[in-house]
């Protein structure tokens, strides 16, 4: 049933955007029309509880939607809005607005939330916040030893230093110069933790990488069938067939890793979710580089031009593989879990019981 449901959701989203030319962040920033369509169809807040203003549903369903959106290359902050900001707001018992949101983790090394003179003050920098200039609200999460706090930050009260990732998506430094925060803008979110936040963020990139890989594969296959050398399609050459077979295998591995990690994160313990996501992100980030390289080998030089759609997918693969931890960082996390616990349990079950 999971496979059937997944295909139905992907088909529904592709139908919504059928015939629409992709709007790319590198060119124009946020695609407001795409976000509006997702919202009107009820896809923008799947996995967010209905009582908080969301559409309900599971994390697995939200993962399928993000995968389809990433495959289409839509320039919308679905991962940041639904997976992080809306999740944090709902965990704190706050209503979730319909517009695009973004989120950031308050890092003691760069920013701090302090209580002084009966008021909260946020000082420092929230680095490389995705889509900060386009979000209606920035949800900053402070997770220490006790219950996490969320801070609702109005971007108009901050200084924004524009930046972009390799895919051209906005990654903005949000500078808070001793920003005064009312009590109404701070809430306790007990279910939220720094580890949980990072796991959800990393998993969102695993799922997004899956969609981008599927699109890169589709473009490579199409090119191999259409392009001819020596009087026959290059898809009939053994070397090209091998490259495509490798892309298929790596892409299928991404699909399985994302689905498995989402299931563990949603239904397992915090420790199980952490190691499952770390393993998935280590695999996904490594596979992303391979898929991008093989795709360009098949398509050739024109795949690097701005006019060709392949570079839009491969730039996302290269950018997202490093966000929220690259393969090396997450492989170290998995190794640390293995050294601190029973390695055989990790091999046998994929997470600790």
**Span 68-80, pLDDT tens digits:** 999 999 999 999 9
The pLDDT tens digits of the residues spanning 203-253 come to 999 999 999 999 999 999 999 998 878 889 888 899 999 999 999 999 999
Which neighbouring-strand residues pair with 115? 120
Using alpha carbons, select from 280, 235, 243, 246 the residue that is nearest to residue 262.
Answer: 280
Across 100-205, the runs of DSSP E, i.e. the strands, are 101-105, 111-116, 119-130, 137-142, 148-153, 159-161, 171-181, 186-189
pLDDT of 305 reads 84
Using alpha carbons, select from 105, 103, 106, 99 the residue that is nearest to residue 85.
Answer: 103
pLDDT of 338 reads 85
Q: Is the pLDDT of residue 342 over 90?
A: no
Q: Is the pLDDT of residue 352 over 50?
A: no
CB 338 within 8 A of CB 346: yes
Strands 137-142 and 101-105: parallel
pLDDT of 304 reads 87
Nearby residues of 214 by Cβ (< 8 Å), 6 or more positions away: 67, 71, 251
With cut-offs at 50, 70 and 90, classify the pLDDT of residue 147: confident
Q: Is the pLDDT of residue 303 over 90?
A: no
CB 133 within 8 A of CB 162: yes
274 three-state secondary structure: helix
Alpha-carbon span 224 to 212, nearest angstrom: 18
Q: Is the pLDDT of residue 346 over 90?
A: no
Same fold, 2-189 and 194-349: no
Alpha-carbon span 205 to 80, nearest angstrom: 10
Domain ranges of the chain: 2-189, 194-349
Q: Is the pLDDT of residue 157 over 60?
A: yes
pLDDT of 204 reads 98
The pLDDT tens digits of the residues spanning 178-195 come to 899 999 999 999 889 888
pLDDT of 242 reads 95
pLDDT of 117 reads 80
Superfamily assignment of 194-349 in CATH?
Butyryl-CoA Dehydrogenase, subunit A, domain 3 (1.20.140.10)
Q: Is the pLDDT of residue 112 over 50?
A: yes
Q: Is the pLDDT of residue 26 over 60?
A: no
Superfamily assignment of 2-189 in CATH?
Butyryl-CoA Dehydrogenase, subunit A, domain 2 (2.40.110.10)
Mean pLDDT of the chain: 90
With cut-offs at 50, 70 and 90, classify the pLDDT of residue 353: very low
pLDDT of 348 reads 57
- pTM higher than 0.85 for the full model? yes
With cut-offs at 50, 70 and 90, classify the pLDDT of residue 91: very high
Strands 101-105 and 111-116: unpaired
H helix or E strand, kind and range, residue 229: strand 228-229
């Amino acid at each position: 049933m999971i496979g059937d449901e997944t295909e139905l959701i992907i088909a529904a989203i592709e139908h919504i955007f059928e015939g629409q030319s992709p709007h790319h962040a590198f060119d124009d920033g946020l695609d407001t029309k795409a976000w509006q369509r997702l919202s009107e169809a009820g896809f923008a807040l799947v996995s967010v509880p209905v009582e908080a203003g969301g559409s309900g549903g599971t994390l697995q369903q939200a993962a399928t939607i993000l995968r389809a959106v990433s495959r289409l290359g839509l320039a919308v902050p679905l991962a940041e809005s639904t997976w992080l900001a809306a999740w944090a707001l709902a965990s704190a018992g706050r209503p979730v607005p319909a517009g695009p949101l973004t989120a950031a983790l308050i890092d003691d090394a760069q920013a701090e939330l302090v209580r002084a003179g009966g008021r909260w003050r946020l000082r420092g920098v929230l680095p490389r916040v995705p889509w900060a200039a386009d979000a209606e609200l920035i949800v900053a999460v402070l997770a220490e030893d006790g219950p996490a706090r969320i801070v609702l930050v109005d971007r108009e009260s901050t200084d924004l230093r524009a930046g972009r990732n390799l895919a051209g998506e906005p990654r903005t430094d949000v500078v808070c110069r001793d920003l005064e925060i009312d009590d109404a803008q701070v809430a306790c979110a007990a279910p939220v933790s720094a580890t949980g936040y990072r796991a959800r963020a990393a998993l969102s990139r695993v799922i997004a990488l899956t969609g981008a890989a599927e699109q890169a594969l589709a473009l490579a296959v199409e090119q191999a069938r259409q392009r001819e050398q020596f009087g026959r399609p290059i898809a009939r050459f053994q070397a090209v067939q091998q490259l495509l077979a490798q892309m298929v295998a790596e892409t299928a591995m991404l699909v399985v890793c994302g689905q498995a990690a989402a299931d563990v994160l949603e239904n397992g313990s915090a420790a199980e979710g952490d190691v499952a996501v770390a393993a998935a992100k280590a695999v996904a980030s490594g596979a992303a580089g391979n898929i991008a390289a093989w795709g360009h080998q098949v398509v050739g030089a024109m795949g690097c031009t701005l006019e060709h759609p392949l570079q839009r997918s491969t730039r996302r693969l290269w950018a997202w593989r490093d966000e929220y931890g690259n393969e090396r960082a997450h492989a170290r996390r998995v190794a640390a879990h293995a050294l601190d616990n029973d390695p055989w349990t990790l091999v046998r079950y994929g997470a600790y019981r």
